[in-house]
Amino acid sequence: MRNLLQAKSHRAIVIAILMLLAAAPLTLAQNADNVLRIGYQKYGTLVLLKARGSLEKKLAPMHVEVKWTEFPAGPQLLEGLNVGSIDFGIAGEAPPIFAQAAGADLVYVGNEPQASAGEAIVVPKDSPIKTVAELKGKKVALNKGSNVHFLLVKLLEKAGVNYKDIDTIFLTPADARAAFERGSVDAWVIWEPFLAAAQRQTGARILADGNGVVSNHQFFLASRSYASKRADVVAIVLQELAAVDQWAKANQKEAAIALEPQMGLDRGTLELALSRNGFGVTPVSDAVLAEQQRIADTFFDLKLIPKHINVRDATLPGMSTGTQAQR
């Protein structure tokens, strides 16, 4: 009798364990849908949103928790999106193109207006280099696959210099700044707020910026799976970002004060960076997608990406809204 009871007890335990294991994937999936993992860079609207804490308050009634992860630049952030460590993030024009070409299943969910002056090629203050054409044969530092990669391509093209005729040194912003200060590179292609910091802290001189050459949009992106499952959460994030952007546009000094402790940069540097920012969050328009396609085609022609891509493949149905106003 005792053996029979023990056998029944063991069977009951095994059945209970099997039921728990069967339910586990569903539970994990439900928990995953109730966590929004945001990737951000140390600047811009997402940093302000994080500092204000308004998104957490907005999503609390929906029982959605927000987790933040910092990345040094767009390419690294989108790699995080690709491997599933984040659900949502921000990057410039070039990173999503490189990521899509590498097979990342991401989607464009919004963008900020153009900010052409927010990226530039800089040289040391005492550099003899005066024009982009003089970069031929020189060492130029940049973050591979970032927005400034396209800026460099277009500025060289405008100056009549072949991309292959310069020595590109691929470095993260921190490493590039160190190389720039050591004199290990002749020029540095960089974006805000590193651009403003280099100007104010090292006396770096702008050789050329993006005005009249590139748009320099910032894009909000999500993994396709998250955007499809939690379109409601993505919509709220974009609403909160739009509200923060409008506040920052009207209150740039206060925005600089809010960013100061988050970034470790002085207020003057942040005010300079913000003065060259594009403010406002909108759905991605047909015109902006067409610009992205031209960038993708350029990178493919230069063999910087391994295959031709259709940028529209990285959108969800109903996302494109036609022509939008540009800043």
What is each CA distance from 272 to 119, 188, 265, 266, in whole angstroms?
Answer: 12, 19, 11, 10
CATH 3.40.190.10 applies to domain 120-209: yes
Strands 187-191 and 139-142: parallel
Question: What pLDDT score was predicted for residue 257?
Answer: 93
Superfamily of domain 34-115+217-264+278-314: Periplasmic binding protein-like II (3.40.190.10)
- Separation CA 242–CA 240 (nearest Å): 5
Q: H-helix or E-strand containing 31?
A: helix 2-33
Number of Cβ within 10 Å of residue 172's Cβ equals 16
Which residues lie across from 148 on neighbouring strands?
none
Q: Where in the chain is the domain with CATH 3.40.190.10?
A: 34-115+217-264+278-314, 120-209
Question: For position 323, what pLDDT does the model report?
Answer: 33
157-204 confidence digits (pLDDT tens): 999 999 999 999 999 999 999 999 999 999 999 999 999 999 999 999
pTM tops 0.85, yes or no:
no
Q: Return the SS3 of 69.
A: strand
Calculate what percentage of the chain has a pLDDT beyond 70. 87
